[in-house]
Amino acid sequence: MTKYNQQTPNKRQSVYEQVTARIIQELEQGRVPWVQPWGNGNGAAGLPANADTGKNYSGINILLLWGAVFERGFQLQSWLTYKQAQKLGGTVRKGEKSTSIVYADSFITKEERRTARAEQRNPERIPFLKRYSVFNIAQCEGLPEELYEDAPELPECEQIPHAEALIKDTGADFRIGGNRAFYVPSEDFIQVPPQPAFHEQINYYRTCFHELGHWTGHKSRLDRDLRHAKGSKPYAHEELVAEMTSAFVCASLTIKPTVRHTDYIASWLQVLKDDDRAIFRAASLASKAADYLLTAHQIEKTRAAA
């Protein structure tokens, strides 16, 4: 674990330090990376995806690509490597600047292999991040026209039925009442205030997705440690996971994400400054949580259509 040091900007920084420094700067300037693509009207709703494979990006790459959409005014969430653009019959326009994202991998040293053989155990792998470059399809030319067709943002009246269906499909124990939203791990239930308590109806669903983010961490599901005292750093980290889970699920349903707990921003900043890998772990866990919820929804949709 490396402690983020804001006083040494000229030091050669690792990928972890560079990305964390950027996100800290955004938070300190009042911009939240998992919300900002829609803050000024830029960018289509949705998760960033590879235009060649059709697969969504995950984890920290969602934040990096959303950040590029925000900063550079791209209107689409589709990306390609230089070679993929050529493969599809197009090319990246001359002078266009790439966006760096990361790929997680691991390796085993020769010394570790020898030691593991001698000790008759499996060798331990060393994780690392590798950078690679992608371009938004708005930076390319000559690509098939259909790649530029983006799914339109659904009007709220259509978003709500999708949100309702997702909540139902998870099978979570939802209880309506009171004046605050929370999840109780020991009893595995979610409680949220009734919909009329929310000034905007869509905020009810954003809140539900946040609590469902916590719900995925139950030991019977993704098994995160949820036993943290309020105000502690692990508690702030889990709130960060739930916030991003809600944002990723919202984006998948073309609902604009919002920050539910702005009062936690100071504690998130401290977590990130103390550990330059914290945002990577939180984004990875949030991707897994969002996938868990969206997969449950898709399974039920498939079952209903059969």
Domain boundaries, the chain: 31-151, 154-306
The crossing angle, in degrees rounded to 10, of helices 15-28 and 265-274 is 160
Q: Tell me how far CA of residue 22 lies from CA of 10, 67, 73, 155, in angstroms.
A: 14, 10, 18, 33
End-to-end alpha-carbon separation of the chain, Å?
A: 49
What's the Cα-to-Cα distance from 109 to each of 25, 122, 123, 124, 131, rounded to whole Å?
36, 13, 9, 9, 21
Distance CA(205)–CA(78), nearest Å, equals 26
Alpha-carbon Rg of the chain, whole angstroms? 21
Give which of 181, 218, 184, 225 is closest to 203, Cα–Cα. Answer: 181
pTM of the model: 0.87
Task: Show Cβ contacts of residue 276 under 8 Å, excluding neighbours closer than 6 positions.
Answer: 1, 2, 3, 4, 14, 16, 17, 20
Amino acid at 213: G
The stretches of 3-101 forming alpha helices (DSSP H) are 15-28, 60-72, 82-87
Each of the 306 residues of the chain gets a pLDDT tens digit; together they read 545 444 444 446 788 999 999 999 989 988 888 886 555 555 566 899 999 999 999 999 999 999 898 888 898 999 999 999 999 999 999 999 999 999 888 889 999 999 999 999 999 988 888 899 999 999 999 999 999 887 667 777 788 999 999 999 999 999 999 999 999 999 999 999 999 999 888 999 999 999 999 999 999 999 999 998 988 999 999 999 999 999 999 999 988 888 776 778 899 999 999 999 999 999 999 999 999 999 988 876 777 665
Cα separation, 153 vs 291, in Å, equals 20
301 vs 298: CA distance, rounded Å: 5
